[in-house]
């Protein structure tokens, strides 16, 4: 476990927050796009387990995560103030695959968090996506648009049509695949969205990588609580085999 000071904790939109934590540059140098950390927000036993969060961005002697308030753990995080101390361990999991040739990053809701560090371009071995396709229910839930637009072209969709295309990320992806040829799709977001994008990728013959989430306790592969069913039978462990998987390797029924 490492100790970190809270540098900033601010609400970006209804229920979505940005948390910036201090860290030694020597540790930050080990972080790769697509990996995650586990953060323990309280010295008490409630909540008992650290919560997993993808590394959203790297700053000078600090890293940033985005989180959405969904339960006791994330609710407790909203009360953190600059100067407070938390514990974390990581980086955990595997980084994103190295993709050669143009590819699309597709994000739904707070799933966009995972693409910040990638789009910063701080690790040259990870090429930038040709475009970020980003969707949410409403414009108020589209966060960090200026941040992402500074690095890559961004197209957005909202369910209610309040910004960008009235529709979904799948609609954006279908239009893009009908216009140009891409080597791969890299997607993070709600399970139904991931399933729809995987099916679109298969239909168009484009390799699709899915960044998955599930219940995750230990983060090191011992508890077997983050099992992801394989298409060939058996299971992957999300924390050590993922969190990014080739869509052809997993049982897509997991994404119902």
Which pLDDT value is given to residue 61? 95
pLDDT of the chain, 256 residues: tens digit per residue: 899 999 999 999 989 999 999 999 999 999 999 999 999 876 666 666 778 999 999 999 999 999 999 888 899 899 999 999 999 989 999 999 999 999 999 999 999 999 999 999 999 999 999 999 999 999 999 999 999 999 999 999 999 999 999 999 999 999 999 999 999 999 999 999 999 999 999 999 999 999 998 777 777 778 878 889 999 889 999 999 999 999 999 998 888 7
What is the count of structural domains for the chain?
2
| Residues 83 and 136 reside in one and the same domain | no
Which pLDDT value is given to residue 225? 80
Spatial neighbors of 57 by CB under 8 A, at least 6 apart, are: 63, 64, 116, 117, 120, 147
Which pLDDT value is given to residue 124? 95
Q: Which of 194, 203, 112, 103 is nearest to 149 (CA)?
A: 112
Tell whether 111 is covered by a domain: yes
Instruction: Give the end of a domain, one of 48, 73, 92.
Output: 92
Instruction: Give the end of a domain, one of 92, 123, 143.
Output: 92
Could you tell me the two tokens for 42? 């309280």
Which pLDDT value is given to residue 141? 95
| Residues 46 and 73 reside in one and the same domain | yes
Instruction: Give the end of a domain, one of 183, 216, 231.
Output: 183
Which pLDDT value is given to residue 51? 84
Domain of 108? 98-183
| Residues 117 and 166 reside in one and the same domain | yes
Tell whether 221 is covered by a domain: no
Distance CA 144, CA 129 (A): 17
The whole model's pTM is what? 0.94
Tell whether 133 is covered by a domain: yes
* CA-CA-CA-CA torsion sign (76, 78, 80, 85): positive
Give per-residue burial for 118-153: e unless 16+ CB within 10 Å, then b.
bbbeebeebbbbbbbbbbbeeebbbbbbebbeebbe
């Amino acid at each position: 476990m490492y100790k970190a000071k809270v540098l900033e904790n601010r609400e970006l939109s209804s229920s979505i927050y940005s948390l910036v934590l201090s860290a030694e540059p020597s540790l930050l140098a080990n972080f790769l796009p697509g990996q995650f950390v586990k953060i323990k927000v309280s010295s008490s036993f409630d909540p008992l387990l650290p919560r997993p969060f993808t590394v959203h961005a790297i700053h000078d002697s600090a890293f940033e995560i985005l989180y959405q308030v969904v339960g006791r753990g994330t609710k407790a995080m909203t009360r953190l103030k600059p100067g407070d101390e938390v514990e974390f361990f990581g980086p955990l999991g595997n980084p994103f695959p190295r993709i050669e040739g143009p590819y699309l990053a597709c994000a739904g809701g707070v799933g966009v968090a995972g693409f910040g560090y990638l789009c910063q371009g701080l690790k040259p071995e990870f090429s930038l996506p040709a475009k970020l396709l980003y969707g949410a229910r409403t414009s108020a839930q589209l966060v960090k648009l200026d941040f992402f637009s500074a690095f890559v072209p961004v197209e957005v969709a909202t369910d209610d049509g309040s910004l960008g295309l009235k529709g979904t990320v799948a609609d954006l992806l279908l239009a893009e695949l009908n216009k140009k040829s891409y080597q791969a799709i890299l997607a993070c977001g709600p399970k139904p969205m991931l399933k729809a994008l995987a099916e679109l990728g298969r239909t168009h013959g484009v390799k699709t990588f899915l960044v998955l989430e599930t219940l995750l306790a230990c983060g090191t592969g011992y508890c077997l609580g983050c099992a992801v069913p394989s298409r060939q039978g058996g299971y992957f462990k999300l924390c050590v085999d993922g969190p990014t998987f080739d869509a052809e390797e997993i049982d897509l029924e997991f994404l119902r």
